[in-house]
Structure 1
Amino acid sequence: MNGVWISMIPEREGRPGPLAGLRFAVKDNIDVAGVPTTAACPDFAYLPERTAPVVRRLLDAGAVLTGKTNLDQFATGLTGARSPYGTPESVFGGGLISGGSSSGSAVAVAAGEVDFALGTDTAGSGRVPAALNGIVGVKPTRGLLSTVGVVPACRSLDCVSVFARDVGLAARVAEVARGREPDDPWGRTGERKIGATVVYGVPGDVDFFGDEEQARAFGQARRRLGEVVEVGIGPLLEAGDLLYRGPWVAERLADLGGFLDKHPDSVLPVTRAVLESGRAFTAADAFAGMHRLRELKAWTERLFRTIDVLVLPTVGTTYTHAEIAADPIGRNLNLGRYTQFTNLLDLAAVAVPNGLTADGRPAGITFFGPAFSDDDLARVAAAWNR
């Protein structure tokens, strides 16, 4: 399928283990020894000597790696339309974008070319492509899956994510892949339980950007949940705005600024514009952002003392490639409206399909829980999706 694969790897017999015989792919910002890592920028490419620990754990569990997949360049974007290697279309066709940045990984799973795939998620890249291709996207708590051997986007926020066609497999893969590495300064462990009787929080007012069909699909999902607690999400959205409209966009320059300075023409214009916008922020801006984020985290902690799980649409609307081309940055922000606060506020998330709209477009919802609620959150999402 056009634009999905960057490199293929000859299949070999898998080892015995809990994932024996399952075929998988990895996003091409994750290292596999002897296979170039490009991050969708040919001039950036390098040949790693070491396989990322998160991939190694899956291989040790018997899974078979088949190739590396396309992405929005430097994992900067949620559209799947920012790569020199082509632009995958959603498996639902109609010119719909696949979503990004983990575009190739999501399409490979949705098309049945692999059983599961690894992506990454900083602003929603493990969930937006899942929604736009009708599959499951698990975004673990930051640090549960090692980011050693992953090209950084925002190093303090980056997560490795998992795509599969059902929650059970995605959760099983995430469990196998998790674990602390001695050379990973961002690694974490922990556990938080969700009660057997789940209290769902759902916002009373959601912006679907004029998309009445997506609004109708979310309304149906809300009714399926039964009794819910209506909550406000303004502070969550404010936190999300810090990522691209605030000083966290400057964090992308911490790892990529040197390459951008030396090779500006090697970076796609829209990607370069996003990265360059980080230069407008000062150290004082960064500290002010950190202080405000801490206040928003405190609000979020109070929220999760009143509910167990927050439920939101994964995306408010869908776009075609033509619509993205007409407004690549503004519509990218719309796609991340209900995803980009997640890592800033240290939440876990599971995105699941929510059927189709009347005009045949995919809809999705996401279940959010506090950090380290991953196992119980997957249980809740699986029960709903079943």
Structure 2
Amino acid sequence: MPADLNDLSLANLPFADLSSRVAAYRAGRDPMADLRATHAAISAATGSHAWISVMPLAMIEATLAAASRRLEAGEDLPLYGAPFAVKDNIDVAGLPTTAACPAFAFTPTTSATAVDRLVAAGAIPVGKTNLDQFATGLSGARSPYGVPASALDPTLVSGGSSSGSAIAVATGLAPFALGTDTAGSGRVPAAFNNVVGLKPTRGLISAIGVTPACRSLDCVSVFAATVADALLVTRIAAGFDAADPYSRRAPADALATPAVAPFRFGVLDAATLALCDAVVQAAYLRSISRLEAIGGTAVAIDWTPMRQAAALLYDGPWIAERLAAVGDFLGENPDRVHPAVGGVIAQGKNWSAVDAFQGQYRLAALARQAEAIWDAVDIVLTPTAPEHPSIDAMLADPIGRNARLGLFTNFVNLMDLAALAVPSDLTYAGLPTGVTLVGPAFSDGRLAVIGDLLHRATPAASLGATRTALAATAPVAASPRDGVTLAVVGAHLRGEPLNWQLTDRNAEFLGAAKTGAGYSLYALAGTTPPKPGLLRDGGDGGVALELWRLTPEAFGTFVAGIPAPLGVGSVELEDGSVVKGFLCEPHAVAGARDITVFGGWRAFLTAAQAA
């Protein structure tokens, strides 16, 4: 590992995962001292080529100060004080967004939706990370800001396009990082740096504020040292965003973590596995054995529809979508774009509108063929990449080698699937290998449960390029099956800004309901984010709400973080049953608008947007 990435003050931090870090800060440890050390280490890590810009220390201090004030006011900030890195095609207010192209750079005044949600949870962005230019590549070797190497071997590629984000986590400079994933950019770098890469279902995390690669396929992805940390961050960053036309309202259980039951997992046939090098083949076979040991049954599948769908991404009309994203800039600045990137994107001119429709038809046919696979298995296990090439080999054959890296990743977003890349064994030479679990759309939580068990079944597993043992971290917790039922009426509804405060606690969505008679709903003034207040004041009732179940412990911590004038009391439902639920202090609705006539908070918001 390069010396400038192994800052001893960071390597010796007394916590191994996000939950223990935040607990330490809440117990009195000074997060600013750790953030200063992080800032200094990033500033010194120029030789790694992992970072493009570092957040000014004054901005870090201001962001933490704002979070501290909110914490002191009683808000629940599950990421309080935790630094994070952001791939430099995702906007962070005040820092340039370059997409690894200096001539393209601009400085946004607002952050991407995903970044805003993480900051709202108390996290602190500390810098922007390197990438394959315009997120076009899987190697990490296509950037004018330098070629970053794997954090575990300076001769090997880091993987791309989210190269710097994976390295930031692997070296311990950030406990988590945001990347993007269109063809595998959130998974290949995870495998090459011994970290976790969670590629959520398309539309689960808003892409507002992301410079697009293929806009209809792009996903914001999460890198972390453990599956539990990646899942925590995803739960906070996820949520419906009406401003993003590709955002989707997820089923309530998309990020729930059910207890592992016997499951079936698809495995590659011998001929397909033979496309991988010997080290990858051996690691994959060991992963099959470990999944069987935790209750899985291996099922051989026909890889043909996945292989043929993968080929469409770069050998089909979807390459024209990359041209749609940055074609104007490329046409005006042909000499200021990386040659390999410019050559790939320029191929978009070769495809017609007819080709695009035919490609859609072909993809739909392949997805139909793949339905037979999902009828037979719950998830599919693949190697993350068929090999781990050297930087020299990649530079000698940038197109061919890069294309090979997408063998098991390119199909996932095209076929609307979820994926989770987890480390497998370190080889005898200390080099990383990785496997990926793939499932249907919105199976993200189930993948996390199984992926975490698989990761923890790896002997002597460590975190990234550090010596910290995976065993020192908390596993993924199962969603509760009994506990306290809570009714929510506003900002905690699914898809609303505070819903993560429930999903972070593994709350289980039970369904929609309505209040009984006698209740009114008011739009409270001056609340951030906007919130309603439910009051039992003899109103018409019938207010729409959602029911969630939490463990008693989770319910206790949730209630402790509710700011005045809101609180939790007993709410009578339309069917006469009584549950715990949000209620408002009567004084807070003086002068507030009665919105009961709309039937609920969502309906009121929709009407307000249309007005």
1:301 pairs, out of 349, 371, 381, with 371
- 2:242 is equivalent to residue 242 of structure 1: no
Counterpart code for 1:71: L
TM-score (norm 2): 0.62
Deviation (angstroms), 1:208: 5.1
Identity, in percent, stands at: 51
Counterpart code for 1:196: A
How many residues end up aligned between the 2 structures? 386
Query: What is the root-mean-square deviation in Å for CA atoms of aligned residues?
Result: 1.4
CA contact (8 A) 1:214 1:357 kept: no
Partner SS for 1:114? coil
What is the match of residue 106 of structure 1?
Answer: 166
Partner SS for 1:6? strand
Deviation (angstroms), 1:325: 0.9
2:262 pairs, out of 183, 193, 197, with 197
TM-score (norm 1): 0.97
What is the match of residue 408 of structure 2?
Answer: 338
CA contact (8 A) 1:209 1:317 kept: no
Deviation (angstroms), 1:213: 1.6
Deviation (angstroms), 1:190: 2.3
Deviations 1:152-176 (A, max 9, x none): 0000000000000000000110010
Summarize the alignment of residues 222-237 of structure 1 with structure 2, pairs less than 5 Å apart. 222-226=288-292, 227-237=297-307
Bigger drift between 12-21 and 363-372 goes to 12-21
Counterpart code for 1:70: N
Bigger drift between 41-50 and 10-19 goes to 10-19
Cα distance in 1 between the residues matched to 2:360 and 2:220? 23
What is the match of residue 178 of structure 2?
Answer: 118
Summarize the alignment of residues 5-24 of structure 1 with structure 2, pairs less than 5 Å apart. 5-9=51-55, 10=57, 11-12=60-61, 13=64, 15=67, 16=71, 17-24=77-84
Deviation (angstroms), 1:281: 1.2
Summarize the alignment of residues 81-96 of structure 1 with structure 2, pairs less than 5 Å apart. 81-96=141-156
What is the match of residue 383 of structure 1?
Answer: 453
Deviation (angstroms), 1:119: 0.2
CA contact (8 A) 2:187 2:197 kept: yes
Partner SS for 2:149? coil
Counterpart code for 1:327: D
Deviations 1:146-204 (A, max 9, x none): 00000000000000000000000001100100011221101002236787322111112
Bigger drift between 216-225 and 133-142 goes to 216-225
CA contact (8 A) 1:136 1:351 kept: yes
What is the match of residue 6 of structure 2?
Answer: none
Deviation (angstroms), 1:360: 2.9
Deviations 1:81-136 (A, max 9, x none): 00000111101114000000000000010000000000000000000000000000
Counterpart code for 2:53: S
Cα distance in 2 between the residues matched to 1:377 and 1:92? 26
CA contact (8 A) 1:300 1:345 kept: no
Partner SS for 2:221? strand
Counterpart code for 1:214: V
Cα distance in 1 between the residues matched to 2:275 and 2:244? 40
Deviation (angstroms), 1:209: 4.2
Cα distance in 2 between the residues matched to 1:183 and 1:89? 37
What is the match of residue 571 of structure 2?
Answer: none
What is the match of residue 4 of structure 1?
Answer: 50
Unaligned runs of 5+ in 2: 1-44, 72-76, 457-611
- 2:246 is equivalent to residue 186 of structure 1: yes
Cα distance in 2 between the residues matched to 1:204 and 1:361? 25
Bigger drift between 33-42 and 14-23 goes to 14-23
Partner SS for 1:242? helix
CA contact (8 A) 1:130 1:137 kept: yes
Counterpart code for 2:262: T
What is the match of residue 28 of structure 1?
Answer: 88
CA contact (8 A) 1:127 1:351 kept: yes
Deviation (angstroms), 1:279: 1.2
Unaligned runs of 5+ in 1: none
What is the match of residue 134 of structure 2?
Answer: 74
Deviation (angstroms), 1:300: 2.2
What is the match of residue 205 of structure 2?
Answer: 145
Deviation (angstroms), 1:243: 0.4
CA contact (8 A) 1:208 1:316 kept: no
Deviations 1:324-349 (A, max 9, x none): 01111111111110001000000000
